[in-house]
Copies of this chain bind each other. A is one copy, B any other.
């Protein structure tokens, strides 16, 4: 992959990159289309498919994370992806492996707090993939808002010679943010999962009416609302500055909201600008 990328760079061919963990859905495909729009017909679009073990906690769903490389291939083929880069663990983590990329500020809250070590895994694998694929532009989904912010910070701090684009969250018709983990939502869980998007719409409506809201009171109110669902349990609800990701006590237009909710055993996340 790297040899090919070096050659493309030498030929002035632009490289658009969509890093994924596979089990692709329409959200990923919208990132692929965005990459294609940026690099054009003469460019190359690379999709990586790699379920990175180091970004999963010991009790998380690494081993049962959904995989379907055959279906992924078919989706990529239809969308005109030029290369699928699907490395094995031994190719990625040669032994002994001892170098890591860490972001120590905006990775501390929310996903970083709930999932210790998660972002260290993310920044390390993304740095590796950037060095292998050598993209001119990399597309990340806004559904993982904090991840996109951490990657943007890493790219700026470490001077990666590329541009990061954060592309809007793709949603099902009823508002559920697309995610490979939605596969876990069987039976009545699927309907309950809608409560994340409903919470966001609720706060957006409140912010429209009132200019300022108290974050703590809002969180309490939302938690009650969410946990009316029999299988829903709030992990976190956060209101923060969209750039620094610093938590805010006052919620108003432009504040960003993110939440993580367990629906059954499945941990779902969503976020939006208010």
Chain A residues engaging chain B, CB cutoff 8 angstroms: 2, 5-6, 9-10, 12, 94, 96-106, 123-124, 127-128, 131-132, 134, 153-154, 156-161
- Contacting pair A99 B102 (CB below 8 A): yes
What would be 8 A-B contacts, judged by CB atoms less than 8 Å apart?
Answer: A5-B161, A10-B10, A98-B103, A98-B153, A99-B123, A128-B157, A128-B158, A131-B160
A199 to chain B, nearest CB (A): 30
Count the copies.
2
Q: Known: A10-B10, A10-B12, A102-B102. Contact between A97 and B157, CB under 8 A?
A: yes
In the complex, what distance in Å separates the CA atom of A2 from the CA atom of B155?
13
Cβ–Cβ < 8 Å partners of A160 in chain B: 131
- Contacting pair A158 B99 (CB below 8 A): yes
A104 to chain B, nearest CB (A): 5
Cβ–Cβ < 8 Å partners of A132 in chain B: 159, 161
Cβ–Cβ < 8 Å partners of A97 in chain B: 157
A10 to chain B, nearest CB (A): 5
- Contacting pair B105 A98 (CB below 8 A): yes
In the complex, what distance in Å separates the CA atom of A131 from the CA atom of B104?
20
A8 to chain B, nearest CB (A): 10
Cβ–Cβ < 8 Å partners of A159 in chain B: 2, 128, 131-132
In the A-B complex, the 8 residue pairs with the closest CB atoms: A99-B157, A98-B105, A131-B159, A99-B154, A99-B103, A128-B159, A10-B12, A98-B104
In the complex, what distance in Å separates the CA atom of A13 from the CA atom of B156?
25
Contact of A100 among B96, B104, B131, B161 (CB under 8 A): B104
Q: Known: A131-B159, A160-B131, A161-B6. Contact between A106 and B101, CB under 8 A?
A: no
In the complex, what distance in Å separates the CA atom of A134 from the CA atom of B131?
11
Cβ–Cβ < 8 Å partners of A128 in chain B: 157-159
A111 to chain B, nearest CB (A): 16
In the complex, what distance in Å separates the CA atom of A94 from the CA atom of B5?
29
A148 to chain B, nearest CB (A): 14
A7 to chain B, nearest CB (A): 10
In the complex, what distance in Å separates the CA atom of A69 from the CA atom of B123?
36
A101 to chain B, nearest CB (A): 6
A12 to chain B, nearest CB (A): 5
Contact of A102 among B6, B100, B153, B154 (CB under 8 A): B100
- Contacting pair A134 B154 (CB below 8 A): no
Cβ–Cβ < 8 Å partners of A131 in chain B: 158-161
